[in-house]
Amino acid sequence: MKSLNDQRLPSGGVLTIALCFVVALLEGLDLQSTGVAAPRMARELMLAKDQLGWAFSIGALGLLPGAAIGGRLADRLGRKPVLMLSVALFGIFSMATTMAWDLNSLLAARFLTGLGVGAAMPNLVALCSEAAPPERRGAAVGAMYCGMPFGAALAAVIGIASPGDHDWRHIFYIGSIGPLLTLPLLALFLRESNRFETLARQASASVSVSISNALWREGRAGTTLALWCSYLGTLVVLYFLMNWLPSMVLNRGLTPVQAGVVQMMFNIGGGVGAVTIASFTDRLGRRSTLIGTYIGIALALCALAGATGGTSMALGGLLAGLFLVGAQSVLYALAGAAYPTHIRGTGVGAAIAVGRVGSMVGPLLAGQLLALGQSPATLVMASIPLIVIAAISALVLVSNFPREALPASRVFNNKSI
């Protein structure tokens, strides 16, 4: 397999993808940090379980407007300045989290952190999509997106290695210093998208197109709807497992250490899946990759539901992370290719915002059903129909792609990018 460097990346493309990977890593670290810090945070701030649930959810709530606004601003102001603003925002308010003194101050800090994290992702997708030629977009976006699960795994390692039972602020110190140190690197070395700069120089009237026209006009209604459905269905299941997998392990009578190992395997599988499965779209084609990936998700969920011991749970977690995060990585690459340059940020940002609804609905719905006495295995199996819907939507999305958005091995038109 050739590396990204061997695939005719434009000048600075590898550096762009590397810097975006670092930002995605820091995002993954931040998204997992509240869960890692939760037990110690709850003791110090005297938070009840329902209040702690709000602390989990409020960050995800901030992701919704962040993604929509960040994507829209990316098409107006440029990818680089909006990404830098986003990184500064979630770095500053991750630091503010360490200064929380009660529930309300904690919720405010986590919401604003989520706003910054949400605004960064559509810019990362747009930059990586535009840093690579069409035939390498899947690999480029996948290489960036694998930073998310690896960042989450890093947060878990920090939690395991944390000294004392009351020290929870250190993970947020790391989560704030990292982004703030990354800002000078972005300022010095990150190049603005050449495609965006070309449009800006041409002062194209299409740059000011309305959100409605960007998403629903000129034959894009079917593409947008299919993209949203595939994001929503996939992320409901992904975030259900991200939040409840440790509890599932404990429910099987296994130890907290085994629960941590299963969660770690889930994140490692996700990191591997993000870069490898997305790259398959460049070599095998989108349709074949999607069919194989969603079949893999269904089989992984069956394996996870039937697992009983630590080894089988770890294997199920690894496969679930591999295919679920891999599927989401493919969807990010598809979103980057589904819209032309002048509305790419808007289109990707809107899809991410809709997908974030799934990131909140999945854990919340699972919690309600578990409280009513449903077993974790039943919930895992019940999520397979959602995966089927997401798979069908993704296949419809590919069939709705305009001719110029197909892989370059089949057709290539420079005007589409």
**pLDDT tens per residue, range 324-334:** 999 998 998 88
**In the 3-class helix/strand/coil scheme, how is 278-289 assigned residue by residue?**
HHHHHHHCHHHH
At residue 168 the predicted structure's pLDDT band, cuts being 50, 70 and 90, is confident
Q: What per-residue confidence (pLDDT) applies to 123?
A: 92
pTM: 0.78
Cβ neighbours of 40 (radius 10 Å) = 18
Distance, CA of 218 to CA of 22 (rounded, Å): 36
Locate the domains of the chain by residue range: 10-416
Residue 243 or residue 392, greater confidence: 392
Q: pLDDT tens across 266-291, in order? A: 888 988 998 889 888 888 888 899 99
Average pLDDT of the residues in 369-380: 77
Residue 408 or residue 147, greater confidence: 147
Q: Where are the alpha helices (DSSP H) in 161-285?
A: 170-189, 194-202, 211-216, 221-251, 256-284
Structural domain 10-416, CATH architecture: Up-down Bundle (1.20)
Output the six-digit token pair for 226: 């299919």
Q: What is the dihedral of CA 203, 208, 209, 214, to 10 degrees?
A: 90
Q: What per-residue confidence (pLDDT) applies to 416?
A: 38
Residue 173 predicted with pLDDT over 50: yes
Q: pLDDT tens across 1-50, in order? A: 344 444 456 557 889 999 999 999 999 898 888 877 877 787 888 887 66
Worst-scoring range by mean pLDDT, 340-344, 389-393, 413-417?
Answer: 413-417
Look-up of token digits 């800002």: 183
Q: pLDDT tens across 310-323, in order? A: 889 889 999 999 99
Look-up of token digits 């340059």: 341
Look-up of token digits 């974790």: 376
CA angle 403, 406, 410 (to 5 degrees): 100
Burial of 91 (0-12, 13-18, 19+ CB in 10 A): buried
Distance, CA of 361 to CA of 57 (rounded, Å): 10
Q: What per-residue confidence (pLDDT) applies to 353?
A: 86
Average pLDDT of the residues in 226-251: 84
Q: What per-residue confidence (pLDDT) applies to 93?
A: 94
What single-letter amino acid sits at 108?
A
For residue 3, give the 3-state DSSP assignment: coil
Q: pLDDT tens across 133-152, in order? A: 877 888 888 889 889 888 98
Q: What per-residue confidence (pLDDT) applies to 256?
A: 74
Q: What per-residue confidence (pLDDT) applies to 89?
A: 95
Q: What per-residue confidence (pLDDT) applies to 163?
A: 60
Q: Would you give the DSSP letter of residue 10?
A: P
Q: What per-residue confidence (pLDDT) applies to 76?
A: 85
Buried b / exposed e across 256-279, counting CB within 10 Å, b at 16+?
Answer: eebbbbbbbbbbbbbbbbbbbbbb
Residue 115 predicted with pLDDT over 90: yes
Q: What per-residue confidence (pLDDT) applies to 202?
A: 58
Q: What per-residue confidence (pLDDT) applies to 412?
A: 35
Average pLDDT of the residues in 360-373: 73
Q: What per-residue confidence (pLDDT) applies to 126?
A: 87
* C-beta of residue 143 within 8 angstroms of C-beta of residue 21: yes
Q: What is the dihedral of CA 22, 23, 25, 26, to 10 degrees?
A: 120
The CA-atom distances, in angstroms, between 264 and each of 87, 150, 241, 319 are 26, 9, 12, 12
Q: What per-residue confidence (pLDDT) applies to 23?
A: 96
* C-beta of residue 78 within 8 angstroms of C-beta of residue 123: no
Average pLDDT of the residues in 106-110: 92
Q: pLDDT tens across 183-203, in order? A: 999 999 998 877 777 766 555
Residue 207 predicted with pLDDT over 70: no
